């Protein structure tokens, strides 16, 4: 019987609600917090020898975890040292670096080009994985290189020309690979101008989104030519609730946890929105939420 890798920080029966922005989720049997690539390799060896299911978790900003918990191993990247290194107009940052921290550090250095991350919750790893962005653009426009580490025991550098995306999805990571860091090519600007834009973006976000309550941000992708929030509002679901979960009256593409929400409550509201919008407009909404499911090596 294989034993847990002694060098890797691991918590047993750790509540997932502490690590997801929804504040939903029961205990994970093993909760690994790798801090170096070698830790990921050791975790992979353990998973393979024990046939333990796993799930890779970043900042948990768009993940819906099961109330009953996860029977295998969750590999969480939150404790990778959040390094930010500058070289000219380039910045290299670890995946665990929070978007807000990265934006401010770059702004203070007079490096712009990351407006697409303004107001986007989560960390750089998630932003790279989902090709995060707003109406001002997408992060793939400034990525020069991505470093990936795999539970299979390998690491590799992926140049920008090999990064393949579709809307909110990546097509370049192999099974079991984790975004470890990314190098971004930015442009010189006046720090005061960048900071002013960030402040304005945060004001708009606070005014338009229910950020005071736990949520995963936007639940659905925007269909071509439409706003998901408007389709949901037009379907009469503004403020619709089940259990502790509610479709926000402030922004209908948010489902918020008002206290005690369960996974099934959120899934019920997701399906209700999809069904009602499809019936009224013929448009089938596609969720951005990632439901935690086991994988095997």
Query: Domain containing 238: what range?
Result: 210-281
Answer yes or no: 29 catalytic: no
Q: DSSP class of residue 241?
A: E
Answer yes or no: do 97 and 191 share one domain. yes
294, part of any domain: no
Which of residues 76, 96, 116 is at a domain's end? 76
Answer yes or no: do 89 and 200 share one domain. yes
Answer yes or no: do 197 and 89 share one domain. yes
Q: What's residue 2's pLDDT?
A: 66
As given in the structure block, the two tokens for residue 229 are 């929030």
Which of residues 170, 188, 207 is at a domain's end? 207
Would the pLDDT of 247 be above 80?
yes
Instruction: Give 34's pLDDT tier (boundaries 50, 70, 90).
Output: very high
Answer yes or no: 197 catalytic: no
DSSP 33-46: ---SHHHHHHHHHH
231, part of any domain: yes
Answer yes or no: do 226 and 190 share one domain. no
Active-site entry in 218, 246, 262, 274: 218
Cβ–Cβ < 8 Å for 289, 274 = no
Q: How far apart are CA 178 and CA 59, in angstroms?
A: 13
Answer yes or no: do 91 and 57 share one domain. no
292, part of any domain: no
Q: How far apart are CA 252 and CA 159, in angstroms?
A: 37
Q: How far apart are CA 232 and CA 224, in angstroms?
A: 15
The CA–CA distances, whole Å, from 60 to 14, 223, 256, 257 equal 14, 24, 15, 15
CB count, 10 Å around CB of 59? 24
Q: What's residue 297's pLDDT?
A: 87
Active-site entry in 14, 23, 150, 168: 168
According to DSSP, the residues that pair with 123 across neighbouring strands are: 98
For range 35-62, the mean pLDDT: 94
Would the pLDDT of 1 be above 90?
no
Q: What's residue 221's pLDDT?
A: 93
Answer yes or no: do 240 and 200 share one domain. no
29, part of any domain: yes
Residue 234 is part of a domain; what is its CATH number? 3.90.78.10
Answer yes or no: do 167 and 275 share one domain. no
296, part of any domain: no
Would the pLDDT of 9 be above 90?
yes
Answer yes or no: 96 catalytic: no
pTM, two decimals, is 0.92
Instruction: Give 3's pLDDT tier (boundaries 50, 70, 90).
Output: confident
For range 163-178, the mean pLDDT: 91
Interstrand relation of 255-257 and 137-138 (parallel, antiparallel or unpaired): unpaired
Residue 59 is part of a domain; what is its CATH number? 3.30.43.10
Number of domains, the chain: 3
Q: Which residues contact 154 (CB under 8 A, 6 or more apart)?
A: none
């Amino acid at each position: 019987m294989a034993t847990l890798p002694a060098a890797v920080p691991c918590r047993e029966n750790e509540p997932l609600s502490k690590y997801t922005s929804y504040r939903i989720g029961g205990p994970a049997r093993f909760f690994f917090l790798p801090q170096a690539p070698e830790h990921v390799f050791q975790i992979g060896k353990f998973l393979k020898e024990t046939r333990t299911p796993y799930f890779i978790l970043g900042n948990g900003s768009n993940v819906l975890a099961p109330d009953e918990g996860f029977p295998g191993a969750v590999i969480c990247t939150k404790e990778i040292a959040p390094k930010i290194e500058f070289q000219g107009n380039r910045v290299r940052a670890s995946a665990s670096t929070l978007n807000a921290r990265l934006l401010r550090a770059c702004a203070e250095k007079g490096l712009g080009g990351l407006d697409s991350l303004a107001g986007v919750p989560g960390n750089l790893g998630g932003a790279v994985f989902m090709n995060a962005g707003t109406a001002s653009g997408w992060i793939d426009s400034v990525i020069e290189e991505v470093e990936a580490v795999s539970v299979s025991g390998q690491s590799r550098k992926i140049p920008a020309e090999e990064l393949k995306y579709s809307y909110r999805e990546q097509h370049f990571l192999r099974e079991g690979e984790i975004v470890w860091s990314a190098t971004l090519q930015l442009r010189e600007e006046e720090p005061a101008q960048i900071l002013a834009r960030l402040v304005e973006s945060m004001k708009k976000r606070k005014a338009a989104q229910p950020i005071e309550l736990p949520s995963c941000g936007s639940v659905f992708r925007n269909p071509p030519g439409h706003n998901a929030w408007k389709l949901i509002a037009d379907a009469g679901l503004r403020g619709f609730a089940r259990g502790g979960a509610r479709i926000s009256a402030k922004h209908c593409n948010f489902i918020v946890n008002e206290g005690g929400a369960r996974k099934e409550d959120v899934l019920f509201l997701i399906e209700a929105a999809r069904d009602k919008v499809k019936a009224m407009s013929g448009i089938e909404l596609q969720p951005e939420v990632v439901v935690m499911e086991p994988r095997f090596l």
